[in-house]
Amino acid sequence: MLRTVQATRYVTPLREGGSLPAIVEADDLGLYVVKFRGAGQGPLALVAELIAGEIGRALGLNVPELVFIEVDGGLGRNDPDYEIRQLLQASTGRNLALDYLPGSTMFDPAARDKAPADLASMAVWFDAFVTNIDRTASNPNLLLWHKALYFIDHGAALYFHHNWQSLDQMTESAFPAVRKHLLLPWASRIEQADAEAKRKLNEQVFVEILDQVPDAWLTANGEDGGADARRSGYLRFLTGRLAASASFTEEALRARSELV
């Protein structure tokens, strides 16, 4: 279960992120990268971050700890930046944060960074499974910290939830965007990753993850049916996607064969 911490100090914005995330100190004295509910991408980005991040963790990938972080209305009220003050005011209440990894560097093949075959294969499978388009050369979302790879920023995953009518189509999708995956050159064990993922993931794992998503995030856009209906929709997608993994596994294998 995700812990809950209270934001105590706004440290600095991370302006390279389109949603203006920030480093914030919490009442446990830890530093966190906060994804704000009131940012332009909205609560669905936090939903995708939580669901995809916890699925990655279930698969054995290094995902920085995710926590709920409560933002008080007084946080940052004296910040000289109007945009930051507005963002914090729009984000009072529960937000999502991930553990800040001080001293980490972005994974960069140009700097001769490499990934083990098993890890790269599972990463490619994972991103294809959750339809995450953000693991490319232009947007790696991979950090090297103490010589280990960490997977961050999954807010663009599960993008069917921006158009629920596409759910069935996306469930069966081969995910052609896998061809741009940054770790594809090292992913020589994709079939083995598929088999391992099927041993680790199941409906119960998905239910336990979905139960942690706040109702308010699921219904922020006034969706019909309420939070339970939305959870059922995500569960339908995830279980169906797992059953149809051959479609995106084969696509990843084809993409890699053309690459290497």
pLDDT tens-digit profile of 138-156? 999 999 999 999 999 999 9
Query: What's the rounded mean pLDDT across residues 77-106?
Result: 94
Confidence at residue 160, expressed as pLDDT on a 0 to 100 scale: 96
Rounded to two decimals, what is the model's pTM?
Answer: 0.96
- Residue 126 and residue 51 in contact, taking contact as beta carbons nearer than 8 Å: no
**pLDDT of 223:** 63
Instruction: Kindly tell me the burial class for residue 39, based on how many C-beta atoms sit within 10 Å of its own C-beta (0-12, 13-18, 19 or more).
Output: buried
Mean pLDDT across the chain: 95
Q: Compute the average pLDDT of residues 78-101.
A: 94
pLDDT score of 18? 60
**pLDDT value of position 20:** 85
What is the structure's pLDDT at 225? 73
